[in-house]
């Protein structure tokens, strides 16, 4: 199965990777503008359309007053369809900081449901690492920052980075994992128990996961 691609309303310029033939493309409210700019036709459109300002033909419409953000509605749709890898474009760096933080929680929601997700902005990629290992090639450059989500993240091991760690603990009350650096070696982040929010320069692309 391909990836579930969600286009949200925040800042976004170009695709981070080519769209595959099995990928599903969904516009969440104002994210439709990005697809129109890229001349890409979505397979579906949903939202409350307070950002877009009008209801597109054939869209699935939800009330403005609801528990889910439009991004979360899109994620739920992808999970219902059986997808397990999600890429959310236009999900970082917009004028609404609260929506960015909500998208961090959406990544955790995906991890809790056995799926993997990425937020794509103009400068960064963001994911949640839960009970797994993520690997970057030696060509990766720049900063890698890690933040604990929720309960303590335990047995965290970092290799190939400027600041290594061996089965350490990251907590949500102290930013110990901020501003680590790639060093020209292959790098790995292993989280034995719990969840970590990871962000890095978009130029490094998507890591391998196991």
Could you tell me how many helices (H) and strands (E) the chain has, helices first?
A: 3, 13
Position 5 scores a pLDDT of 98
Host domain of residue 160: 128-209
Six-digit token string for 73: 């509605």
Query: Which of 96, 122, 148 is the C-terminal boundary of a domain?
Result: 122
Q: Where are the beta strands (DSSP E) in the chain?
A: 4-7, 24-28, 44-47, 60-61, 85-89, 116-120, 124-130, 133-136, 143-159, 165-170, 180-181, 187-201, 208-209
Query: What is the value of pTM for the model shown?
Result: 0.94
192 pLDDT more than 80: yes
In terms of domains, do 43 and 103 share one? Answer: yes
CA distance 45 to 30: 10
Q: What is the reported pLDDT for 1?
A: 87
Is the domain of 136 the same as that of 117? no
**Could you report the per-residue pLDDT of 91-125, keeping only the tens digit for each?**
997 778 898 999 999 999 999 999 999 999 999 99
Q: What is the CATH number of the domain that holds 110?
A: 3.40.50.10240
- Is residue 77 within 8 Å of 26, Cβ to Cβ? yes
The pLDDT value given to residue 189 = 98
Q: What are phi and psi of 189, to 5 degrees?
A: -125, 120
Give the residue, 154 or 63, on which the prediction is more confident.
154
Do 202 and 135 reside in the same domain of the chain? yes
Main-chain dihedrals φ then ψ at residue 181, nearest 5 degrees: -135, 145
Q: What is the mean pLDDT of the chain?
A: 95
């Amino acid at each position: 199965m391909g990836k579930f691609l969600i286009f949200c309303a925040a800042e976004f310029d170009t695709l981070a990777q080519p769209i595959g033939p099995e990928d599903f493309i969904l516009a969440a409210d104002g994210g439709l503008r990005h697809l129109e700019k890229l001349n890409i036709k979505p397979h579906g459109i949903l939202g409350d359309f307070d950002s877009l300002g009008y209801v597109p033909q054939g869209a699935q419409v939800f009330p403005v007053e609801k528990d889910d953000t439009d991004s979360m509605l899109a994620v739920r749709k992808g999970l219902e369809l059986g997808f397990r890898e999600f890429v959310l474009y236009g999900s970082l760096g917009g004028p609404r900081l609260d929506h960015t933080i909500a998208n961090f929680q959406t990544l955790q929601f995906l991890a809790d449901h056995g799926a993997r997700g990425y937020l794509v902005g103009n400068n960064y990629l963001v994911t949640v690492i839960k009970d797994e290992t993520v690997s970057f090639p030696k060509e990766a450059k720049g900063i890698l920052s890690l933040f604990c989500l929720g309960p303590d993240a335990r047995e965290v091991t970092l290799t190939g980075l400027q600041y290594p760690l061996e089965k350490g603990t990251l907590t949500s009350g102290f930013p110990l994992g901020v501003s680590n650096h790639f060093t020209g070696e292959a790098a790995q982040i292993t989280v034995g128990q719990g969840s970590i929010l990871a962000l890095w320069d978009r130029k490094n692309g998507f890591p391998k996961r196991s």
